[in-house]
């Protein structure tokens, strides 16, 4: 898989270099009429780099969509510029302090609509900066005023056309073929994990099994990345083949099938990770036959030859049921799900709570979206206006670069502001230094200065995927080298490089200022607030589960909606945590506890999956009520302990001073603060806040007792009745495991939250 990824990146690097080469040859050696139209070659390079070094890896469908976005941005900019020229006049726009105001107003108009893409906004921002700074540079005395937007549009079109040609040469890079490769990579990954599962079940000791499970977890992370790529390429099919719009159901079925397959693979991984001892007492042939259904499903081989009545003959008798055997039954339950309609297992994304369709919610949503659009537009207006103002004050002739630096940096959502600014500044410096070195080497061969661009552009594609520089550093390093080596008649390269680095620094300072003014909250602060939302969502899931145990024939829509809510909060917490970990440490602010938050994220993901398995298990029981008074009592006791734990944590969080906090901790017989590094009091080190793992174990014992009684009472006189009995036993066993493991993960979450309070 790693070799395939490197080859894909090399292919993208060559195509990106080819697109830049087309622009370079056209602007340097192309026909004179064409060069007279495309008078801004720097913006042609910028357009090409924004298309090819975007967050997603371009295919023909993506590049075609980008060309449409670029065209829309060009028409939008032309309309704004023409109106401003007619209303204000070119002479007034040439005043140094009027141009930044015009940029700020035009940027606000471009940024406010929610229907336009980020690329459209970035291209429009860049075009606005070019036009109005040009007015300021020439003091409004621009020959053929109405031709200026045309020259900007021609330069933009050159970059878009070069990108479109590069995606076709030497052969088209289609989303369909990339999606097929992604499916093949995922199948190889899943089969490798199945082989690891076999080795885990045959492991001689726990240490060997844990090492293999850790390896499977790393493969699972790679599989999630592959599935994200498949989803992205699937969305681009409509641009390559418009007829796929009429085949959405079939295409969506394939995507849901892959998601459901990964869901079951994660369930098997959870089951093996919960086993207390190895080996599991099965021969290699038995394990191989057991995993025949997943293997044939993933490899798209002919269906299993096992008959329905032969599939569940390996189920245990009532006397052999125990709490330690529940993980094995859940593993077999996941295997059995592979034999049915896999795409019907994971239905969380399609279930929506009916209360969400109320008019009040829609009104609140529209107000929130309008506020978000206004905040983003205000941020773009302030950042670009200040960048152009200070850029013109520093160097009027090169005042473009501060505004263009901000134009390619703005995003609608949150981002690690200081990290992005640092990466962009380093990329600008590296690209400029590389360009200057190449100018020295090719001092006597000025006609061939563009040749060193090709390996550098290829290197920036790999730089884009690095953790140090990322996409911001890769984009700016490519642009910096292109502006020095890919153009002529801009003065001394050294003077230009120094001026541009200063202008880029001015732009990045204005970018940081705009981000801080509009979104002053740090990601670590938002992550701590999101952790509370995740905790409350887990409590809601536990509450829905308690209601299911108390009320017979209760619909599962409530539990599914609570799981969907939890899943959305987990995704937000994961995003904020990754951003917070890239923030620089501030001496007087407490950093995020990375270890604890990563543990919480793992447990929250498992809770989300286990809730879906509980819903699926209750659905497969066909109306049977798998609860009794003891189980309901254990669940309610667990819920009450959770609520008391949360209440205690909230009271502790409201305690401001450390002395009062220590007093509260002593009062509750809890005296430990892992994140602050304070040692715990020996007298209270064994005291707990809220539920413990013993509660989960107590529930498992009660459920196994119920399961034994149900198995002994049920008898099958015929083969069909025996199959139904075995299926019910298997479903009940997996349900007991899921609820017990859900309780265990909830205890782990509360423990980590307590440590980080």
Q: What are phi and psi of 399, to 5 degrees?
A: -75, -5
Task: State yes or no: pLDDT of 393 exceeds 60.
Answer: yes
- At residue 128, the pLDDT reads 92
d(CA 102, CA 639): 59
Which pLDDT band holds residue 157 (cuts at 50, 70, 90)? Answer: very high
If you compute the radius of gyration of the chain from its CA atoms, what whole number of angstroms results? 31
Residues 6 or more apart in contact with residue 275 via CB below 8 angstroms: 209, 324, 327, 328
Residues 6 or more apart in contact with residue 221 via CB below 8 angstroms: none
Residues 6 or more apart in contact with residue 471 via CB below 8 angstroms: 53, 54, 55, 464
pLDDT tens-place string over residues 119-131 = 899 999 999 999 8
Q: Is 673 helix (H, G, I), strand (E, B) or coil?
A: strand
- At residue 359, the pLDDT reads 47
- At residue 343, the pLDDT reads 45
d(CA 391, CA 405): 11
**36, 147 contact by CB (below 8 A):** no
d(CA 383, CA 403): 8
Query: Mean pLDDT across the stretch 594-623?
Result: 82
Domain ranges of the chain: 1-172+373-518, 182-204+233-302+320-339, 523-663+691-756
- How does DSSP classify residue 669? T
Please identify, in words, the CATH class of the domain defined by 523-663+691-756: mainly alpha
Which pLDDT band holds residue 644 (cuts at 50, 70, 90)? Answer: confident
Query: Mean pLDDT across the stretch 698-719?
Result: 70
pLDDT tens-place string over residues 404-454 = 888 888 887 777 788 888 888 888 898 889 888 888 888 777 777 778 888
d(CA 732, CA 714): 13
Query: Mean pLDDT across the stretch 579-593?
Result: 76
Could you tell me which residue, 362 or 416, shows the higher pLDDT? 416
- At residue 158, the pLDDT reads 92
- At residue 682, the pLDDT reads 39
Task: State yes or no: pLDDT of 529 exceeds 90.
Answer: no
- At residue 686, the pLDDT reads 35
Q: Is 678 helix (H, G, I), strand (E, B) or coil?
A: strand
Residues 6 or more apart in contact with residue 568 via CB below 8 angstroms: none
Return the sign of the alpha-carbon dihedral for residues 551, 556, 562, 566. Answer: positive
Query: Mean pLDDT across the stretch 525-536?
Result: 87
Output the CA angle 53-54-57, nearest 5 degrees.
80
pLDDT tens-place string over residues 249-305 = 444 556 677 888 888 889 889 988 888 887 777 778 888 888 888 888 887 765 544
Tokens found for residue 63: 């590049």
- At residue 684, the pLDDT reads 37
Instruction: Return contacts of 457-463, CB within 8 angstroms, 24+ apart.
Output: 457/13, 457/16, 457/17, 457/20, 457/481, 457/482, 458/10, 458/13, 458/14, 458/16, 458/17, 459/13, 460/16, 460/53, 460/431, 461/9, 461/12, 461/13, 461/16, 461/52, 461/53, 462/9, 462/13, 463/427
pLDDT tens-place string over residues 466-497 = 877 888 888 888 888 888 887 777 778 888 88
Query: Mean pLDDT across the stretch 383-404?
Result: 89
> Which single residue is written with the structure tokens 């620089």?
584
Task: State yes or no: pLDDT of 688 exceeds 50.
Answer: no
Bridge-partner residues for 678, per DSSP? 673
d(CA 269, CA 257): 18
Q: Is 30 helix (H, G, I), strand (E, B) or coil?
A: coil
d(CA 524, CA 575): 11
- Which of 380-419 are b and which e, b meaning 16 or more Cβ less than 10 Å from the residue's Cβ? bbbbbbbbbbbbbeebeebbbbbbbbbbbbbebeebbbbb
pLDDT tens-place string over residues 53-98 = 876 678 888 888 889 999 999 999 999 988 888 888 878 887 878 8
Instruction: Give the rounded percent of residues in the chain with a pLDDT score beyond 70.
Output: 80
């Amino acid at each position: 898989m790693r070799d395939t990824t490197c080859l894909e990146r090399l292919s993208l690097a060559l195509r990106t270099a080819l697109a830049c080469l087309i622009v370079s040859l056209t602007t340097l050696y192309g026909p004179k009429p064409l060069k007279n139209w495309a008078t801004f070659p720097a913006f042609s390079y910028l357009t090409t780099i924004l298309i090819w070094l975007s967050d997603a890896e371009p295919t023909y469908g993506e590049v075609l969509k980008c060309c449409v976005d670029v065209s829309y941005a060009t028409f939008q900019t032309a309309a704004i510029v023409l109106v401003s020229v007619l209303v204000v006049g070119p002479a007034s726009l040439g005043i140094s302090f009027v141009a930044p105001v015009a940029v700020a107003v035009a940027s606000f108009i471009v940024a406010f609509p929610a229907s336009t893409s980020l690329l459209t906004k970035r291209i429009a921002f860049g075009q606005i900066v070019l036009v109005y700074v040009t007015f300021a540079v020439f003091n409004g005395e621009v020959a053929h005023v109405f031709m200026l937007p045309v020259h900007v549009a021609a330069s933009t079109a050159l970059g878009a056309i070069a990108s479109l040609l590069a995606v076709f040469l030497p052969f088209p890079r289609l989303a369909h073929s990339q999606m097929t490769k992604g499916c093949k990579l995922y199948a190889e990954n899943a089969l490798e994990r199945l082989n690891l599962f076999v080795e885990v079940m045959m492991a001689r000791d726990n240490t060997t099994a844990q090492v293999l499970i850790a390896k499977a977890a790393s493969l699972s992370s790679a599989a999630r990345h592959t599935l994200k790529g498949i989803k992205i390429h699937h969305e681009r099919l409509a641009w390559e083949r418009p007829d796929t719009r009429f085949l959405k159901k079939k295409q969506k079925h394939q995507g849901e099938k892959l998601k459901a397959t990964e869901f079951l693979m994660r369930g098997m991984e959870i089951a093996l990770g919960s086993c207390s001892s190895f080996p599991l007492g099965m021969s290699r042939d038995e394990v191989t036959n057991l995993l025949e259904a997943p293997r044939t499903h993933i490899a798209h081989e002919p269906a299993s030859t096992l008959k329905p009545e032969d599939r569940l003959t390996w189920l245990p008798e009532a006397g052999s049921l125990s709490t330690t055997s529940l993980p094995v039954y859940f593993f077999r339950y996941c295997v059995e799900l592979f034999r049915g309609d896999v795409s019907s297992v994971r239905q969380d994304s399609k279930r929506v709570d009916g209360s969400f369709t109320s008019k009040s919610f829609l009104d609140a949503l529209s107000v929130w979206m309008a506020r978000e659009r206004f905040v983003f537009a205000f941020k773009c207006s302030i950042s670009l206006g200040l960048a152009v103002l200070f850029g013109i004050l520093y160097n009027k002739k090169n005042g473009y670069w501060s505004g263009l630096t901000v134009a390619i940096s703005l995003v609608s959502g949150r981002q690690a502001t200081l990290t992005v600014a640092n990466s962009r500044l380093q990329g600008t410096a590296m690209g400029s230094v590389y360009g200057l070195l190449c100018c020295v080497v090719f001092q006597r061969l000025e006609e061939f200065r563009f040749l060193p661009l090709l390996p550098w552009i290829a290197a920036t594609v790999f730089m884009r995927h690095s953790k140090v520089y990322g996409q911001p550093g890769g984009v700016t390093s490519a642009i910096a080298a292109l502006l020095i080596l890919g153009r002529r008649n801009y003065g001394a390269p050294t003077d230009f490089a120094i001026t541009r680095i200063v202008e880029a620094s001015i732009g990045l300072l204005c970018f940081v200022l705009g981000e801080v003014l509009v979104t002053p909250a740090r990601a670590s602060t938002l992550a701590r607030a999101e952790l509370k939302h995740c905790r409350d969502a887990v409590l809601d899931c536990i509450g829905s589960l308690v209601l299911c145990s108390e009320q017979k024939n209760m619909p599962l829509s409530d539990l599914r909606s609570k799981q969907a809510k939890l899943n959305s909060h987990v995704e937000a917490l994961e995003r904020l945590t990754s951003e917070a970990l890239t923030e620089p440490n501030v001496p007087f602010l407490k950093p995020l506890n990375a270890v604890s938050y990563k543990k919480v994220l793992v447990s929250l993901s498992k809770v989300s999956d286990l809730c879906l398995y509980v819903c699926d298990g209750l659905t497969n029981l066909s109306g049977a009520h798998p609860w009794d008074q003891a189980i309901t009592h254990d669940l309610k006791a667990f819920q009450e302990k959770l609520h008391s734990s949360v209440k205690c944590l909230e009271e502790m969080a409201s305690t401001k001073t450390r002395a009062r906090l220590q007093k509260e901790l002593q009062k509750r017989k809890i005296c430990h603060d892992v994140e602050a590094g304070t040692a715990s009091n020996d007298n209270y080190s064994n005291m707990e806040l809220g539920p413990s793992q013993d509660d989960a174990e107590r529930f498992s014992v009660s459920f196994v007792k119920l399961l034994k009684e149900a198995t002994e009472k049920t008898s099958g006189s015929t083969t069909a009745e025996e199959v139904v009995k075995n299926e019910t036993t298997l479903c009940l066993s997996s349900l007991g495991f899921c609820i017990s493991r859900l309780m265990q993960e909830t205890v782990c979450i509360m423990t980590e939250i307590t440590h980080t309070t």
